[in-house]
Structure 1
Amino acid sequence: MQRTIGQSQESVEATSSSRVELPRMRRRKGDSLEGRIVRWIFFGCALISILTTLGIIFTLVSQAIGFFVEVSVWDFLTGTRWTPILKPRAYGVLPLVGGTLLIAAIAAMVALPVGLAAAIFLSEYAPNKVRRIVKPVLEILAGIPTVVYGYFALTFVTPLLQILFPEMLVFNALSAGIVMGVMIIPMVSSLSEDAMNSVPNSLRNAAYALGATRVEVSLRVVVPAALSGIVASFIIAISRAIGETMLVTIAAGATPNLTLNPLESIQTMTAFIVQLSLGETPHGSLEYNTIFAVGLLLFLITLAMNLMGHFIVKRWREKY
């Protein structure tokens, strides 16, 4: 009797499962064509991105080879004089790298603390009404053309700084770096706020239950929990500052100067590319190929920083 009841229950379960699985199978068969079309569309979009990246790498490497045939990589990376157009010619890229890193360092000193503070305010302190107003207004800074930022630094920030530093040149690294920092604040604040919002409220409530204040919860609970996303936003913002072109071309000057003094005129790698590409350098000449050599080095620097950010996110990412 018990066997009969058990067999009948098994038959009922098998029948019900078959009834459940049958519509699923029909649904999968009915959506298979649409699923394949969507899958191929997504695959095509991803393939376009990959092919574009490979095309850029091929262009940079193929053109830079002509430069490195005549100039050694060691002299290019360790030389302290950069005069590819004027005689005596020298092809040491350190002045361009130094100018680029100087601008990025000044921008980081402005953007990272301000952006992180704005993210903490929007995530932990601001009411919903205030957040809906402040965040779009803050992100408007990201939509302003970089040319406008460049002339803003040249015509407004530099005269103000010359009041404090009379010896400052018209084209200098300090004003360009400060305005660059203002430009990348939205990137830091937006990405950091997203990372903080992903922290579950249970951690906040547990900290409040232990008697922690809002400041302690923000700085000792939320920020450490979202540290991987915050650091990733820092690296992405600094990479953006390293690759910026028009702002530094207008405000920082065109003097390849290996210096740590932000009051002097410098030249970044992107500014040199703009300067030489707008000139009358013959196509295929050694001077022309310096564009691709500098561009390849810039690509490798930004690639290394992005890989670093990916490693940090993967290594210290917290899953809730």
Structure 2
Amino acid sequence: MSKKNQLRKLSEFTSADHPVRRMRRLKERVIEFILFLAAASSVLVTVGIVGILVMESIPFFETVTLKEFLTDTEWTPLFENAHYGILPLINGTFLTTMIALIVAIPLGTIAAAFLSEYVRPGVREVLKPILEMLAAVPTVVYGYFALLFVTPLLQKVIPSLGGFNVLSAGLVMGVMIIPYVSSLSEDAMRSVPGHLREASFAVGASRMQTAFRVVIPAAFSGITSAYVLGISRAFGETMVVAIAAGMQPNLTLNPTEPAATITAFIVQVSLGDLPHGSIGFRSIYVAGLSLLILTLCFNIIGLWLRKKFQEKE
């Protein structure tokens, strides 16, 4: 075949009207459409959830004023003398989350530093999946573990501790979210360029000094994301607090007393036989909307902190 014919066939093949190219464009458009549907579905589901929460909450606030909802110190929407103050539920949610973070953030960060800076790659590939298996344990198992094992142990140290308390629920929640903190933090630490470690070793720093004064500060934007995920996970935890904390709305900062979180209240009311459209039934959606707003605020703060640390880096 002459060179002229070869060029002619090549130009025909590369032409936009060639059947092969048309079929390729069609396949690409189909794939793009499928990917668009996959991306849009998550947005539509989120919008749908928010829409339902807002629509069901509007009739609630037609009966209960926003001031009463935010300032009343009692939450008894199912009682005859009903009170609709969300503060006890927010207090219980924050209290259990703080206890969980006191456990999860230090232990998760130390575990991430150990996996990233101390162990050999082969050992890391074994230890990391074992640590991440904690996230695969059903939360109801953690709940009964807190109630039947951790609480009796704490009662030996604190004899006045009741069977239901925030302390045991928070401690077990902290253990439960360690994998979320450690896994993402370890990934962020491993992404730190090796020349930073080499420079630190070159000036005489030890491995520990390098890990905590060089690697962790350099990876702190990614570590912040791990902390935000841990906070969101603790905020949304249901079964541990529902089983171990007592599900009693109580405005207190004493972790040895029982309390209820927003998620625990939703579980408690969902198990009842409330008529649809009643004020007690709508309180489920109001509690869910409050939890959504709180989680959104923490995510926004986390994104702001991550951006701030990235700019410093």
Aligned residue pairs total 300
Equivalent residue, structure 1, for 2:231: 238
* Cα pair distance change 1:222/1:318, threshold 3 Å: farther
Between the aligned partners of 2:301 and 2:311, the Cα distance in structure 1 is: 17
Deviations 1:15-42 (A, max 9, x none): xxxx9xx979999877433322221111
Change (3 A) 1:186 1:132: same
Give a deviation string over 1:82-125, Cα, whole Å, max 9, x none. Answer: 11111321100100000000000000000000000000000000
Counterpart contact for 1:142–1:184, Cα < 8 Å: yes
How far apart, CA to CA, are the structure 2 residues paired with 1:276 and 1:224? 45
**Per the alignment, in what secondary structure is the counterpart of residue 50 of structure 1?**
helix
Residue equivalent to 2:57: 64
Of 291-300 and 210-219, more deviation after overlay is shown by 210-219
Q: Does 1:178 align with 2:166?
A: no
Match of 1:16 in 2: none
SS in 2 for 1:69: helix
- Letter paired with 1:303: L
Query: Where do residues 264-303 of structure 1 align in structure 2 (5 Å cutoff)?
Result: 264-303=257-296
Q: Secondary structure at the match of 2:255?
A: coil
1:200 maps to 2:193: yes
Aligned counterparts of 1:223 and 1:132: Cα–Cα separation in 2: 21
Q: Does 1:109 align with 2:102?
A: yes
Q: TM-score, normalised by structure 2?
A: 0.91
Distance 1:319-1:93 versus aligned 2 partners, 3 A rule = closer
Native 8 Å contact 2:167 2:256 kept in 1: yes
CA offset digits 1:223-262 (Å, max 9, x no partner): 0000111111111101110111111101111110000111
- Report how far residue 150 of structure 1 moved: 0.3
State the one-letter code of the partner of 2:68: D
Matched, 1:164 2:157: yes
Q: Give the 5 Å matches for 1:51-130.
A: 51-130=44-123
**Alpha-carbon distance between aligned partners in 2 of 1:319 and 1:168, rounded to the nearest angstrom:** 46
Query: Aligned residue for 1:43?
Result: 36
- The alpha-carbon deviation at position 129 of structure 1 amounts to 2.0
SS at match of 1:317: helix
Question: What SS does structure 2 have at the residue aligned with 1:175?
Answer: helix
Q: What SS does the corresponding residue of 1:231 show, helix, strand or coil?
A: helix
Say if 2:248 and 2:259, in contact at 8 Å, map to a contact too.
yes
Return closer, same or farther for 1:29/1:205 CA change in 2, 3 Å cut-off.
farther
Residue 12 of structure 1: aligned partner: none
Q: CA RMSD in A?
A: 2.0
Structure 1 residues 159 and 28: CA distance shift in structure 2, 3 A: farther
* Stretches of structure 1 lacking an aligned partner (at least 5 in a row): 1-18
- Show the 5 A alignment for 1:139-154: 139-154=132-147
Check conservation: 1:236, 1:309, Cα contact below 8 A: no
Distance 1:318 1:32 in 2: 40
Aligned residue in 2 for 1:13: none
- Taking the aligned partners of 1:30 and 1:201, their CA distance within structure 2 comes to 46
Task: Assess, with a 3 A threshold, how the Cα gap between structure 1 residues 23 and 127 changes in structure 2: closer, same or farther.
Answer: farther
| Corresponding residue number in structure 2 for 1:307 | 300
Residue type of the alignment partner of 1:115: G
Amino acid at match of 1:104: T
Shift of 1:141: 0.2
- Report the Cα offset of residue 313 of structure 1: 2.1
Displacement of 1:310: 1.9
Aligned to 2:5: none
Partner of 2:3: none
State yes or no: 1:132 paired with 2:125: yes
The runs of at least 4 consecutive aligned structure 1 residues that moved more than 6 Å come to: 22-30
Q: Which amino acid aligns with 1:152?
A: F
Unpaired stretches in structure 2, ≥5 consecutive residues: 1-9
Say if 1:28 and 1:186 are closer, same or farther in 2 by CA, change over 3 A.
farther
The answer to whether the Cα contact below 8 Å between 2:241 and 2:247 also exists between their aligned partners in 1 is no
Is the contact made by 1:282 and 1:288 (CA closer than 8 Å) also made in structure 2? yes
Mapped contact 1:77–1:94 kept (Cα < 8 A): yes
Distance (Å, rounded) in 1 between the aligned partners of 2:197 and 2:74 = 54
Identity percentage over the alignment? Answer: 53
Rounded Cα–Cα distance in structure 1 between residues aligned with 2:259 and 2:14: 69
Give 1:239-258 correspondences, 5 Å limit. 239-258=232-251
| CA distance in 2: counterparts of 1:248 and 1:316, whole angstroms | 33
Cα 1:207–1:160 shift into 2, 3 Å: same
C-alpha displacement of 1:264: 0.6
Separation in 1 of the partners of 2:144 and 2:33?
45
